[in-house]
Chain A
Amino acid sequence: EAGVVQSPRYKIIEKKQPVAFWCNPISGHNTLYWYLQNLGQGPELLIRYENEEAVDDSQLPKDRFSAERLKGVDSTLKIQPAELGDSAVYLCASSFGAAEAFFGQGTRLTVV
């Protein structure tokens, strides 16, 4: 069984530029999460989807961050414009309902 797939693995951009991350969850998983992981810290939830509906986006900085999950499968997370403080690892995870969440390998973003 393929795991959660994220791309790109690494991204370096200049500040004020836009950036997008893509996530393909495990087949059949209806719940999808985006987490932010700063260096030396635990993951922090940004947004959670149940199918195509964002049911918890309270921690998503909506002035510059946006996300979508069209058709309830793949998801994209976008930052526009990026700031230096956005440098971090962006993790996607998925689960089937309330079961264990499986993480992707993450996208390491560096804003210069």
Chain B
Amino acid sequence: GENVEQHPSTLSVQEGDSAVIKCTYSDSASNYFPWYKQELGKRPQLIIDIRSNVGEKKDQRIAVTLNKTAKHFSLHITETQPEDSAVYFCAASITGTASKLTFGTGTRLQVTL
């Protein structure tokens, strides 16, 4: 089955700096890659997703890039703010939908003042 690895497990950046989280996946058939943000004690929430027919997608301060050849995708957060502090999970799916998601182990992002 699919295996998703995520790095780093923890990331500390200063407010205003950029943060990058990287994931690799094993199944070349995977074609849907969402990113979820989970604040402490709260539910995971989708922040951005990308499909395999697109190399990059941007939404304000958040962007995701996908390299199908290397089987890796990354989350980029620019101009980080304290409210960006949370655990971020990447996921991959071979169905093109959320119906069969395999999640990474998460990255705890801490934005310091």
Chain A interface (Cβ < 8 Å from any Cβ of B): 3-4, 31, 40-45, 48, 56, 91, 93, 95, 97-106
Q: Contact check, A42 vs B98: say whether CB atoms are below 8 A apart.
A: no
CB B10 to nearest CB in A, in angstroms, measures 10
Q: Tell me the dominant secondary structure on chain B's binding face.
A: mixed
- Return the 9 tightest CB-CB contacts between A and B, nearest first: A42-B103, A98-B97, A101-B98, A103-B43, A105-B43, A103-B44, A42-B89, A43-B103, A100-B46
Q: How many interface residues does chain B have, given as a range?
A: 20 to 34
Residue of B nearest to A55 (CB): B99
The residue from B41, B44, B99 contacting A31, defined by CB atoms under 8 A apart: B99
Q: Contact check, A40 vs B105: say whether CB atoms are below 8 A apart.
A: yes
By a CB distance below 8 angstroms, the chain B residues around A101 are 46, 98, 101
Whole-angstrom distance between the alpha carbons of A31 and B41 in the complex?
Answer: 24
| Listed A/B pairs (30) with beta-carbon separation below 8 Å | A3-B43, A4-B43, A40-B106, A42-B105, A42-B106, A43-B44, A43-B89, A43-B103, A44-B103, A48-B99, A56-B100, A91-B43, A91-B44, A93-B98, A95-B97, A95-B98, A97-B97, A98-B95, A98-B97, A98-B98, A98-B99, A100-B34, A100-B46, A100-B49, A100-B98, A101-B98, A103-B45, A105-B41, A105-B42, A105-B43
Whole-angstrom distance between the alpha carbons of A78 and B93 in the complex?
Answer: 27
Whole-angstrom distance between the alpha carbons of A56 and B106 in the complex?
Answer: 24
Whole-angstrom distance between the alpha carbons of A100 and B97 in the complex?
Answer: 8
By a CB distance below 8 angstroms, the chain B residues around A106 are 43
By a CB distance below 8 angstroms, the chain A residues around B99 are 31, 48, 56, 95, 98
Interface positions, chain B 63-113, Cβ under 8 Å from A, are 89, 91, 95-101, 103-106
Q: Contact check, B43 vs A42: say whether CB atoms are below 8 A apart.
A: no
Q: Contact check, A99 vs B105: say whether CB atoms are below 8 A apart.
A: no
Whole-angstrom distance between the alpha carbons of A91 and B44 in the complex?
Answer: 9
Residue among B41, B99, B103, B105 with the most chain A CB within 10 A? Answer: B99
Residue among B6, B45, B49 with the most chain A CB within 10 A? Answer: B45
Q: Contact check, B44 vs A98: say whether CB atoms are below 8 A apart.
A: no
